[in-house]
Amino acid sequence: MQGSLYLAWRYLRHHWIKSTILVASITLIIFLPLGVRVLILQSARHLTARAEATPLLVGMRGSPLELVLNSLYFGTGSPEALPYSDVDALDSMGLALPIPLYTRFRAQGYPIVGTSLDYFAFRDLTVSRGGMFAMLGECVLGTRVAEQMGLGPGDAVISSPESVFDIAGVYPLKMRVAGVLAFSDSPDDDAIFVDLKTAWVIGGFGHGHQDLAEASAASGVLRRDSTSITANAAVVQYNEIMPDNIASFHFHGDVGSFPVTAIIAVPPDQRSSTILRGRFEESSGAAQIVVPSDVMDELLGTVLTVQTFVLAAVVVLGMGTLATAGLVFGLSLRVRQRELMTMTKIGASPASIRWLVVSEMVVVSAAGVALAFLLTALTASFGPPVIRAVFL
Amino acid sequence: MIRVQELEFRYRRSDFVLRVAELEIADHERVAIVGPSGSGKTTLLNLFAGISTPDRGTVQTAAERISSMSDSARRRFRVQQIGLVFQEFELLDYLSVLDNILLPYFLSSALRLDDAVRTRARSLAADLEINDKLARNVANLSQGERQRVALCRALLPRPRLVLADEPTGNLDPSNKHRVVDLLLENTQAAGATLVAVTHDTEVAKRFDRVLDMAALQ
């Protein structure tokens, strides 16, 4: 038996191209359906866990899926904004704690999430280094953002301009990093959090004024005399809120009209939740209320239906590949008839010859199965984060 | 010794019939079998080896009536008592020289592969002047070297009988004489009986006795 295994191994090693193709075929036959299933189940678990942890979400009427994906996973699409007065209105109903979200801006590809401190308590997020933002212009970083940007407390991050050619548009804001959040294995690890007002400053709803009489503003002065100071035409590359200019920052207009992209509503009990949903459904206003887990279930229902079709196709493909692999093995045995006859003449029993052929099949199959399970394990570990990064 | 009595053998779906009334080959004798193609030389070797069994009559090889044995007993007997050398060498191109020599030990539980066998394989390879090529793949050897590997494989289990089917058929003249020398010397040194089929009268003359198939039938 040991001799047969050794001969099988030597044969497969000598004909390594054929062996590799057979192993790859078996790996694909097993990995494709298994990997797809594991990937979908793992991704679904991650998606539904976040959605189930968010009781209700209020946003402008439109696609509930876009609202959920943007508000829970900070996807790139930005839903239409609600006025901040809706947050106050929701609060005054006394049926839920409103947590505003404003997710329009990005910094080096990472989403900037404007929110209130209630968000951190609601998501059970804690600061691992530094502290929470306390001042206009400060931010806290998700773990992965801090790791990948190599930033920590005291460093700075600048928001990305929406259009580099529009100097009158959204202006970059240099934000001081107040702290870094502890790892939560959620989309919060990949986000930059600021106070809602800081997000509004980035959006141009609030601004500061530079006092040209101050010595620090010398680079912006064109001419100065005893009666007047004339500013030059230099463009400031980014705004920065510092202790010496924070007092000059202010907002114009009614704060109630300022935008938020969504409101997380956290009702204290089921009854409040039901009443709140009823009020929104009866209302003919511009806002909608959605249950994120229902929206995700609907999405996953569609995904699982597609998965069934994909798996059916993969099984058919797998059977074809298996048949081809069997044919390759069969033809190979036919080519080796003379070799097997010599073995018989030398003294190998029919059982030894059978065992030799079975050994080759077992070695190839075992390698294919092991590789398929390894790939499945890797997919289970790294697939869901990749899916989140690519599709959300 | 080999003793054949009233032997008759015919292939299915063929008119060919091999009949040998009586034949004896003594222990340690070196016999060449000659005859035209299709006269049954290889068939006779297969009957001596127990690869084929006669329709009638008996074949006694090394004091055992091989023609009456069961398949498994005949196989076991062949592995332990008979060494086979083929015209086309029949080496496995995916094995090294040493592994080809040890092949019967990988294939049959009747032989036990241990360090002593490996040492004997190296010593035999040295006798046959291929000991410096043991790690090489057989595909990289010359025809003469390949036949020496085949001879080494046949002699390793210390057989009492060596059956060679046209062992020089694929060799050039210089290799032919060298291989015949090695075949005769080593079977004699091993104390084995040698029966070789050949077309070559020059090769046949080197043997103790020459059997003509035409005279046997």
3-state secondary structure A152-165: CCCCEEECCCCCCC
Q: Which residues, 6 or more positions from B30, have their beta carbon under 8 angstroms from its beta carbon? A: B184, B187, B188, B193, B194, B196, B207, B208, B209
Cβ distance of A15 and B84 shorter than 8 Å: no
Residues in chain B closer than 8 A to A342 (CB atoms): 86, 90
Residue B44: strand, helix, or coil: helix
Q: Within chain B, which residues score under 70 in pLDDT?
A: none
Name the minimum distance, in Å, from the CA of A309 to any CA of chain B.
44
Instruction: Report pLDDT digits (tens) over A138-174.
Output: 999 999 999 999 999 999 999 987 766 665 666 788 9
**How far apart are the C-alpha atoms of B217 and B5, rounded to whole Å?**
12
Contacts with A11 from chain B: Cβ below 8 Å: 94
Task: Name chain A contacts of B113, Cβ cutoff 8 Å.
Answer: 3
pLDDT of residue A80: 86
Chain A residues inside the 8 Å CB shell of B72:
349
**What pLDDT is attached to residue A163?**
63
pLDDT tens digits, A211-245: 767 766 677 777 777 778 777 766 667 778 877 77
Helix %, strand %, coil % of chain B (to 5): 40, 25, 35
pLDDT band at A389 (very low <50, low <70, confident <90, very high): low
Mutation to test the B interface, candidates A346, A359, A363, most B Cβ within 10 Å: A346
Q: CB distance A349–B72 less than 8 Å?
A: yes
**Mean pLDDT, chain A, as a whole number?**
86
Alpha-carbon distance A168 to A51, whole Å? 38
Q: Identify from B107, B140, B151 which residue to disrupt to test chain A contact, counting A C-beta atoms within 10 A and taking the largest count.
A: B107
Closest CA to B187 of B88, B82, B98: B82
How far apart are the CA of B75 and the nearest CA of chain A, in angstroms? 5
Distance from CA of A7 to the nearest CA of B (A): 8
pTM: 0.65
Contact (CB<8Å) B107/A346: yes
**A385 has a pLDDT exceeding 80:** no
Rounded Cα distance, B202 and B33, in Å? 13
pLDDT for A321: 83
